[in-house]
């Protein structure tokens, strides 16, 4: 059985229900996936071929494809041959059943084939996700062939549902678990009712273990809309956090407000655990928006790579004309890690940057002010040395995950339509590298960022100490479970747990999250083991320069929108790119389809609205070209302050200006 306690899942759903996308999200954590395609034909059916190509485009390059085609026995063989470290995605069983019922194979014991497949699934040591259409909800087919197919598929689904660890039904993109996956080990948390009134008390989970100390409050900062850059240089010494008597921006307790709902309890879960039912973005709006971009009225070839942002926003907003994010919250998480993960770091300089951010100044404060975003700063307790032992306790991980979830809840309740995850901490790069290596098998030494000191100097000795800490931590946990809670407890720490909770909570509230640094990428890698849907709500605005970020983003399937080579620190890269992304979204939403591509009579096409672009031009085609001297018609106020029309009016206006 895999580290997160499941091997096999059956995903059921109707046509265009989102079942395939959900199944793909379940295996998104695997370094490599063998995609078993059962469909046959399509050579003479363009529509069917288009469906197959759509599935192919969604698959990462690291996946391999195995086609069983007309040989249903091949699927049983693949399951029997699979190794414990393999991951298989079978899509879908409808094609397999059609091959079983092929008249060329008759007479045949079809029930024996189904029983053999169920036995292979039950005995398979690999992780397997099977997709199957649920066709038994409509009228009984009127043809004998249709009835035979429905009966055979229903029998197959029942046999595999009994054999699989989990069964989920996807309807309109929303998964509903029919057979719950086994829960990971950990401290039990009692379920509590959710109050229906906003004025009622917040439900408090009761943990069996000793509760963690109360988490520190988050500081919410609204930077000035147009921050003033101070001419005097900032001193290199420590800038302590402001004293209590100094004027401060309003301080809010991140855990004090009522959340709209707690999906953890509402979905029947008693703790954050693998297999949570979280929403996916709309699967059709994104491709439809990209198709619309090819038709909008632009003089050039289009928006280029930034169209990725339009497609992402379209899916998360469920609209082919997504609007620019108007209210963004920057969530800054500050944590410290002990041991050699912090080699070469200056805790005092980090503290200075956190204090500046809390005051709405510094790099993040200025960029947020220019972008019109507010900032929530959260300081978390220090984590231990990952090379020596677990960096925190299991109950503290649970509390930190919930705190991050509730931070996302607060942002949603405050009307924020996007989050930007940032980190200012000590030892985060080494910890994120360890998480990348532990969850994907990446080479730690190749991914670990170099240690940069002020003045552009690299401290290679500190890098070697960090590399050794990562090596020792990975060696220490080599025989430990690799579930999300285990990774956070053993090497991740509390800051990474809070960031993971933010991603989960944002996904539950359908809020997109912009990532651009080690903390966010590592949180994304862990969050996918808890809910694979989280990666679909994340956008990487800027690739940056860190191999750690690029490798992690590739595993998550995140394509950077821009590649400017920025290295401003976590959160600052995305903030610097945010105005451009907003501009692109605004253009994509506001610009109409090119008039030449509107071909329906009366729909505003070129022939219908020609007068809007060149008054009288359509008449010239009917009556002949006017032999009078051509004139240029200028709208009043546009290079024509006199209000006149024609060239003479324009000259009068120019004369008036001179």
Kindly report the number of other CB atoms within 10 A of residue 249's CB atom. Answer: 16
Reply yes or no on whether 570 is catalytic: yes
For residues 477 and 473, give the distance between their C-alpha atoms in angstroms, rounded to a whole number.
6
Q: Whose structure tokens read 């200025």? A: 366
Nearest alpha carbon to residue 552 among 502, 606, 516: 516
Cα distances from 54 to residues 41, 58, 88, in angstroms, run 15, 7, 19
Residues 6+ apart with CB under 8 A from 487: 435, 438, 439, 526
Q: Whose structure tokens read 């999906």? A: 263
Q: Whose structure tokens read 């990532």? A: 515
Are 411 and 331 a contacting pair, CB within 8 Å?
yes
For residues 582 and 325, give the distance between their C-alpha atoms in angstroms, rounded to a whole number.
7
For residues 441 and 555, give the distance between their C-alpha atoms in angstroms, rounded to a whole number.
11
Are 422 and 333 a contacting pair, CB within 8 Å?
yes
The token pair at 585 is 């979204």
Q: State which H helix or E strand residue 539 sits in.
A: strand 538-539
Nearest alpha carbon to residue 294 among 591, 521, 646: 591
The token pair at 420 is 């930007």
Nearest alpha carbon to residue 540 among 520, 526, 523: 520
Mutual orientation of helices 572-590 and 362-371 as an angle, nearest 10°? 10
3-state secondary structure of 76: helix
In this structure, what DSSP letter does residue 489 have? I
Number of H helices, E strands in the chain: 23, 17
Cα distances from 400 to residues 255, 269, 281, 447, 493, in angstroms, run 11, 17, 26, 26, 9
Residues 6+ apart with CB under 8 A from 407: 218, 254, 331, 376, 378, 498, 501, 502, 505
Catalytic residue of the set 570, 600, 629, 651: 570
Q: Whose structure tokens read 């996916």? A: 280
Kindly report the number of other CB atoms within 10 A of residue 323's CB atom. Answer: 15
- Catalytic positions: 570
């Amino acid at each position: 059985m895999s580290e997160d306690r499941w091997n096999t899942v059956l995903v059921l759903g109707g046509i265009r229900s989102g079942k395939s996308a959900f199944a793909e999200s379940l295996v998104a954590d695997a370094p490599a996936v063998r995609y078993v395609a059962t469909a046959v034909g399509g050579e003479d059916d363009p529509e069917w071929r288009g469906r197959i190509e759509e599935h192919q485009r969604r698959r990462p390059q690291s996946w391999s494809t195995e086609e069983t085609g007309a040989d249903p026995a091949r699927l049983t063989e693949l399951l029997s041959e699979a190794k414990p470290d393999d991951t298989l995605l079978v899509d879908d069983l409808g094609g397999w059943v059609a091959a079983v019922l092929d008249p060329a194979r008759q007479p045949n014991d079809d029930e024996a084939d189904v029983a053999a497949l169920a036995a292979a699934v039950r005995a398979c040591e690999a992780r397997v996700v099977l997709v199957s259409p649920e066709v038994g909800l409509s009228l009984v087919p009127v043809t004998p062939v249709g009835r035979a197919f429905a009966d055979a598929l229903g029998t197959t689904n029942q046999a595999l549902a009994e054999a699989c660890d989990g069964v989920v039904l996807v309807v309109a993109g929303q998964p509903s678990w029919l057979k719950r996956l086994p829960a990971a080990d950990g401290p039990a948390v009692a379920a509590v009712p959710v109050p229906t009134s906003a004025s009622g008390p917040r439900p408090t989970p009761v943990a069996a273990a000793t509760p963690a100390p109360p988490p520190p409050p988050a500081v919410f900062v609204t930077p000035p809309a147009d921050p003033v850059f101070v001419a005097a240089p900032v001193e290199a010494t420590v800038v302590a956090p402001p004293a209590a008597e100094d004027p401060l921006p309003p301080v809010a307790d991140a855990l004090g407000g009522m959340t709209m709902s707690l999906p953890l309890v509402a979905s029947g879960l008693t703790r954050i655990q693998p297999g949570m039912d979280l929403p996916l973005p709309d699967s059709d709006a994104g491709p439809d928006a990209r198709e619309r971009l090819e038709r909008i009225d632009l003089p050039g070839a289009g928006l280029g790579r930034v169209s990725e942002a339009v497609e992402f926003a379209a899916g998360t907003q469920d609209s082919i004309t997504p609007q620019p994010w108007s209210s963004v919250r920057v969530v800054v998480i500050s944590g410290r890690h002990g041991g050699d993960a912090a080699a070469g770091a200056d805790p005092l300089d980090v503290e200075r940057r956190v204090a500046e951010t809390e005051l709405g100044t510094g790099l993040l404060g200025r960029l947020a002010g220019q972008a019109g975003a507010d900032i929530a700063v959260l300081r978390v307790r220090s984590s231990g040395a990952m090379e020596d032992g677990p960096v925190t306790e299991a109950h503290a991980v649970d509390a930190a995950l919930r705190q991050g979830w509730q931070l996302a809840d607060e942002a949603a309740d405050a009307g924020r339509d996007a989050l930007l995850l940032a980190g200012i901490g000590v030892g985060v790069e080494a910890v994120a590298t360890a998480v990348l290596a532990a969850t994907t098998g990446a080479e730690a030494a190749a991914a670990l960022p170099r240690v940069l000191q002020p003045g552009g100097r690299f401290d290679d000795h500190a890098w070697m100490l960090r590399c050794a800490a990562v090596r020792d931590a990975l060696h220490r946990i080599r025989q430990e479970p690799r579930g999300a809670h285990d990774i956070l407890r053993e090497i991740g720490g509390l800051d990474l747990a809070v960031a993971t909770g933010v991603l989960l909570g944002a996904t539950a509230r359908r809020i997109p999250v912009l990532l651009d640094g080690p903390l966010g990428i590592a949180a994304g890698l862990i969050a996918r083991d808890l809910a694979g849907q989280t990666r679909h709500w994340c956008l990487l605005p800027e690739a940056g320069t860190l191999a750690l970020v690029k490798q992690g983003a590739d595993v998550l399937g995140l394509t950077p929108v821009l590649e400017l080579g920025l290295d401003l620190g976590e959160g600052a890269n995305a903030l610097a790119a945010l105005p451009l992304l907003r501009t692109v979204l605004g253009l994509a939403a506001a610009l109409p389809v090119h008039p030449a591509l509107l071909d329906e009579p009366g729909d505003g096409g070129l022939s219908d609205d020609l007068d809007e672009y060149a008054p009288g031009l359509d008449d010239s085609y009917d009556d002949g070209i006017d032999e009078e001297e051509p004139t240029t018609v200028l709208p009043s106020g546009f290079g024509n302050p006199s209000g006149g029309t024609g060239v003479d009016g324009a000259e009068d206006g120019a004369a008036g200006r001179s």
